[in-house]
Copies of this chain bind each other. A is one copy, B any other.
């Protein structure tokens, strides 16, 4: 645990970010969960025992983390942004029923051929978004 904390500090410093308790907490929280939380969810999680960060600070921390490439914003839902500390390229699955978001391994889809794009467009990255229903929600339907 301590080692992990040290690693986080090292990572933040290596990106030129000042290490504050709030920034640390936001990043650590994002690293240990994989559900692409919203700002509100992060905030609730961080302050559940004792108040540690204010809303504006979480926004600021996320922006800083995003600028140095440690965190990505994920747009899969109207109204709210979600955040992801998994910066490696990957795809997303979204449950249309409960809204849950899950990562899909990058290698799951192999055959996307960007050279087929219209001449003139220069692709830099891509991502597949799959929508459907997750285990839990399929069960719901069957009851």
Copies in the complex: 2
Contact with B along A55-74 (1 / 0, CB 8 A): 00000000000000000010
Chain A contacts with B in 104-132, Cβ cutoff 8 A: 104, 108-114, 116-118, 120-132
Q: Are A108 and B104 in contact (CB under 8 A)?
A: no
Q: Are B75 and A78 in contact (CB under 8 A)?
A: yes
- Residue A52 is within 8 A (CB to CB) of chain B in the complex: no
- Residue A31 is within 8 A (CB to CB) of chain B in the complex: no
Tier of interface size on chain A: 35 or more
Q: Are A131 and B124 in contact (CB under 8 A)?
A: yes
- Residue A6 is within 8 A (CB to CB) of chain B in the complex: no
Which residues from B are CB-within-8-Å of A127? Answer: 128-129
Q: Are A117 and B108 in contact (CB under 8 A)?
A: yes
Instruction: Return 11 A-B CB contacts under 8 Å, by A number.
Output: A75-B75, A108-B116, A109-B112, A112-B112, A121-B130, A121-B132, A121-B134, A122-B132, A122-B133, A125-B130, A125-B131
